Chains A and B, each alone.
Chain A
Amino acid sequence: SQQGEEDPQALSIQEGENATMNCSYKTSINNLQWYRQNSGRGLVHLILIRSNEREKHSGRLRVTLDTSKKSSSLLITASRAADTASYFCATDAGSYIPTFGRGTSLIVHP
């Protein structure tokens, strides 16, 4: 079963633009994480946000969490061609095992 679902499924932008992707989930969570995957590679952790936090920043990344709406967003500012990848949210509910969504495929055109 997939707890988190990312939206949109695909996103295509020009270099320098901001990219926003969203994650919605169904049940209460302990924390939510965002991961990045380059084509044919393993996932790389980006940010973890706990259920009592509303916003976190890391470099050009900004993550927000709205537990009342059961949703999170990942904003990448000033996108670069190297940001081209798939982005996944992972939520952990009662079992504490992260459950991944289907991902958002981001293409940044130079």
Chain B
Amino acid sequence: DGGITQSPKYLFRKEGQNVTLSCEQNLNHDAMYWYRQDPGQGLRLIYYSQIVNDFQKGDIAEGYSVSREKKESFPLTVTSAQKNPTAFYLCASSPRIRGETQYFGPGTRLLVL
């Protein structure tokens, strides 16, 4: 089964802690994305990557970091610098960046303890 997976489904973060959200795809897509979704605000782009070892900041990158060491994987770290991390995080992939359909994972809900 081809698809995009995210783990965990729920994640709890303590004050001052960094946490990492996993995103894996077996669709052989070059491009991958991370979005944050808050109630009533739609999706906002955090980071995106066009190819391995390359990534670019989106609209709300502060307090987040990513890596793209493998084509299949695009993990997102929510650092302690992100003061309001509670949100629903969605990972997506597409064959290329330009004008392509995006395929989304099931999401990770991050809550602060």
Tell me the A residues contacting B by CB distance below 8 Å. 1-2, 30-31, 33, 35, 40-45, 48, 50, 88, 90, 92, 96-103
B104 surroundings in chain A (CB, below 8 A):
35, 42-44
Residues of chain A lying within 8 A (CB to CB) of residue B58: 97
- Counting CB contacts under 8 A, is B103 at the interface? yes
- Asked whether B42 lies within 8 Å of A101 as measured between CB atoms, the reply is yes
Smallest CB gap from B104: residue in A: A42
Contact in complex: B99, A92 (CB < 8 Å): yes
Contacts of A50 in B (CB 8 A): 99
Give the chain A neighbours of B103 by CB distance below 8 A. 45
- Is B84 located at the chain interface by the 8 A CB criterion? no
Known: A96-B97, A97-B58, A102-B40; 12 extra A-B contacts, CB below 8 A, are: A2-B42, A40-B88, A42-B90, A42-B104, A43-B102, A45-B101, A96-B98, A96-B99, A97-B33, A100-B35, A100-B42, A101-B42
Across the A-B interface, the 6 shortest Cβ-Cβ residue pairs? A42-B104, A100-B43, A102-B42, A96-B98, A43-B104, A100-B42
- Report B74-113 CB contacts with A as 1/0, cut-off 8 Å: 0000000000000010101000011101111111010000
The residues of B with any CB-CB pair to A shorter than 8 Å are: 6, 33, 35, 40-43, 45, 48, 58-59, 88, 90, 92, 97-99, 101-107, 109
**Smallest CB gap from B94: residue in A:** A98
Roughly how many angstroms separate A48 CA and B33 CA in the complex, as a whole number?
18
Measured between C-beta atoms, what is the minimum distance from A60 to chain B in Å? 19
